[in-house]
């Protein structure tokens, strides 16, 4: 199975400042169709998760443009250009190329 490792696991932020989360995989996971199915999810306190970014760098519909995803190979990054209060929660990366799909451990973004 592909292991997804996120860092940091806890990220104290100052509102209005940028934030960055790393996700590293134990192996490259490029699909036979050429896509890398690396997605990012947000889970606000008390809510169900929702996807923010699909296939490394594509924002889902309705996701603010302060969120961006990048990376390739085994290293991926989620960036928030200016953290807002509604961004507080836990963020997960997901490898969705090979079965079984695997999530990272999660990164808790909280106000400093």
Partner 1 sequence: VQLVESGGGVVQPGRSLRLSCAASGLSFSGHGMHWVRQAPGKGLEWVAVISSDGRDKQYADSVKGRFTISRDNSKNTLYLQMNSLRAEDTAVYYCAKMDCGGDCPRDYWGQGTLVTVSS
Which residues in this chain contact partner 1 in the complex, by CB under 8 A? 1, 37, 39, 41, 43, 48-51, 54-55, 58, 60-62, 90, 92, 94, 96, 99-106
CA atoms within 13 A of residue 47's CA, in its CB half-sphere: 14
Q: DSSP label at 85?
A: G
* Least gap, CB of 29 to partner 1 (angstroms): 13
- Our CB check for partner 1 shows the closer of 32 and 48 to be 48
Q: Which is nearer to partner 1, 66 or 103 (CB)?
A: 103
> Based on CB atoms, which residue is closest to partner 1, 19 or 95?
95
Residue 108 dihedral angles phi and psi, to the nearest 5°: -90, 115
In the complex, least distance from residue 86 CB atom to partner 1, rounded to whole angstroms: 18
Residue closest to 43 by CA, chosen among 76, 92, 101: 92
- Residue 82 or 101: the one with the smaller Cβ distance to partner 1 is 101
Answer whether the bond into residue 93 is a cis peptide, omega within 30°. Answer: no
Least distance in Å: CB of 44 to partner 1? 12
Burial class (CB in 10 A: 0-12, 13-18, 19+), 21: buried
């Amino acid at each position: 199975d592909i292991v997804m490792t996120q860092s940091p696991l806890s990220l104290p932020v100052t509102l209005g400042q940028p934030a960055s989360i790393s996700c590293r995989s134990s192996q490259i996971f490029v699909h036979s169709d050429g896509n890398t199915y690396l997605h990012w999810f947000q889970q606000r306190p008390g809510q169900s998760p929702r996807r923010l970014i699909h296939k490394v760098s594509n924002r889902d519909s309705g996701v603010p443009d302060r969120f961006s995803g990048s990376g390739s190979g085994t290293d991926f990054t989620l960036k928030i250009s200016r953290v807002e209060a509604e961004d507080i929660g836990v963020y997960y990366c997901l490898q969705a190329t090979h079965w079984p799909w695997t999530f990272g451990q999660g990164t808790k973004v909280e106000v400093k």
